[in-house]
Amino acid sequence: MSFKSESDAKAYWKENISLVVKLIAIWFLVSYGCGILLVDVLNNIQLGGYKLGFWFAQQGSIYTFVVLIFYYTKKMGDLDRKYGVHDE
Amino acid sequence: MELQTLTYIVVGFTFALYIGIAIWARAGSTKEFYVAGGGVNPVANGMATAADWMSAASFIGMAGLIAFMGYGGSVFLMGWTGGFVLLALLLAPYLRKYGKFTVPEFIGDRFYSRTARIVAVVCLIICSITYVIGQMKGIGVAFSRFLEVSYDTGLLVGMFIVFFYAVLGGMKGITYTQIAQYCVLILAYTIPAIFISLNLTGNPLPQLGLGSTISGTDVYLLDRLDQTVTELGFAQYTTAERLSTTNMFVYTLSLMIGTAGLPHVIIRFFTVPKVKDARSSAGWALVFIAILYTTAPAVAGMARLNLMNTIEPAAGENLKYDERPQWFKNWEKTGLLEFEDKNGDGRIQYVADKEKNEMVKVDRDIMVLANPEIAKLPNWVIALVAAGGLAAALSTAAGLLLAISSAISHDLLKGVFMPQISEKQELLASRLAMAGAIAAAGYLGFNPPDFAAGTVALAFGLAASSIFPVLMMGIFSRRVNKEGAIAGMVAGISVTLLYVFQHKGFMFVPGTEFLGDMPANWFFGIEPNAFGAIGALVNFTVANVVSRMTQEPPQEVQELVEHIRVPSGVAEAQDH
Contact A3, A85 (CB under 8 A): yes
CA-based torsion, B437, B438, B444, B449: positive or negative: positive
Q: Pick from B96, B299, B472, B566 the residue to mutate for testing the A interface (most A CBs within 10 Å).
A: B566
Q: Is residue B576 part of a domain?
A: no
| Element housing B151 (H / E) | helix B151-201
Q: Is residue B356 part of a domain?
A: yes
Alpha-carbon distances, residue B508 vs B150, B232, B291, B448 (angstroms): 22, 34, 33, 7
What is the distance, to the nearest Å, from the Cα of residue B370 to the centroid of all Cα atoms in its chain? 20
Look at residue B538 in the predicted model and tell me its pLDDT. 97
Give the domain range for residue B478.
Answer: 3-566
Length of chain B: 576
Residue B267: closest CA among B281, B286, B253: B281
Contact B85 A27 (CB under 8 A): yes
Contact B215, B202 (CB under 8 A): yes
Look at residue B399 in the predicted model and tell me its pLDDT. 79
Q: Pick from B74, B253, B255, B274 the residue to mutate for testing the A interface (most A CBs within 10 Å).
A: B74
Q: Is residue B574 part of a domain?
A: no
Rounded-to-integer distance, Cα A74 and Cα A68, Å: 10
Q: Pick from A22, A65, A76, A86 the residue to mutate for testing the B interface (most B CBs within 10 Å).
A: A65
Q: Is B376 left (phi over 0), alpha (psi -120 to 50) or beta?
A: left
SS3 content of chain A, % helix, strand, coil (to 5): 75, 5, 20
The residues that bridge with B262 in the sheet, in sequence order, are none
* SS3 call for B337: strand
Low-confidence ranges of chain B (pLDDT < 70): 26-39, 168-173, 505-521, 571-576
Rounded-to-integer distance, Cα B518 and Cα B526, Å: 11
Beta strands in B118-193 (DSSP E): none
Rounded-to-integer distance, Cα B417 and Cα B188, Å: 45
Q: How many domains does chain B have?
A: 1
How many helices (H) and strands (E) are present in chain A, helices listed first? 4, 2
SS3 content of chain B, % helix, strand, coil (to 5): 75, 0, 25
- Per the prediction, chain A carries an average pLDDT of 94
Contact A62 B222 (CB under 8 A): no
- Amino acid letter, B227: Q
Look at residue A35 in the predicted model and tell me its pLDDT. 96
Rounded-to-integer distance, Cα B16 and Cα B521, Å: 50
Q: Is residue B530 part of a domain?
A: yes
The residues that bridge with B361 in the sheet, in sequence order, are B338
Q: How many alpha carbons lie under 13 Å from residue B97 in its C-beta half-sphere? A: 24
CB atoms within 10 A of CB B356: 12
Q: Is residue B572 part of a domain?
A: no
Is the ipTM higher than 0.90? The answer is yes
**Helices B151-201 & B367-374, crossing angle to 10 degrees?**
50
* SS3 call for A50: strand
Rounded-to-integer distance, Cα B116 and Cα B543, Å: 12
Torsion of CA A25, B57, B539, A64, to 10 degrees: -10
**CB nearest to A31's CB, from B211, B252, B565:** B252
The residues that bridge with A46 in the sheet, in sequence order, are A51
Contact B222 A50 (CB under 8 A): yes
- DSSP code string of B356-372: T----EE-GGGHHHHHH
Contact A34, A61 (CB under 8 A): yes
- Amino acid letter, B14: T
Rounded-to-integer distance, Cα B380 and Cα B383, Å: 5
Q: Is residue B249 part of a domain?
A: yes
Residues 260-299 of chain B with CB under 8 A from chain A are 274-276, 279-280, 282-283, 286-287, 290, 293-294, 297
Rounded-to-integer distance, Cα B267 and Cα B24, Å: 22
Rounded-to-integer distance, Cα B30 and Cα B7, Å: 37
The residues that bridge with B362 in the sheet, in sequence order, are B337
Rounded-to-integer distance, Cα B474 and Cα B478, Å: 7
Beta strands in B446-532 (DSSP E): none
Contact B425, B218 (CB under 8 A): no
The CATH number covering residue B372 comes to 1.20.1730.10
Q: Is residue B571 part of a domain?
A: no
Burial class (CB in 10 A: 0-12, 13-18, 19+), B120: buried
**CB nearest to A27's CB, from B82, B207, B220:** B82
Contact A48 B282 (CB under 8 A): no
* SS3 call for B99: coil
CB atoms within 10 A of CB B160: 12
Contact A1, A88 (CB under 8 A): no
Tell me the per-residue pLDDT of B346-388, one tens digit each, with 9 for 90 and over: 999 999 998 999 999 888 888 888 999 898 899 898 889 888 8
Rounded-to-integer distance, Cα B255 and Cα B536, Å: 11
Alpha-carbon distances, residue B85 vs A61, A62, B283 (angstroms): 11, 10, 8
Contact B399, B174 (CB under 8 A): yes
Residue B110: closest CA among B123, B124, B125, B97: B97
DSSP-derived letter for residue B73 is: G
Look at residue B576 in the predicted model and tell me its pLDDT. 27
Could you tell me which chain A residue has the CA closest to the CA of B75? A57
**CB nearest to A2's CB, from B77, B85, B566:** B566
Q: Is residue B340 part of a domain?
A: yes
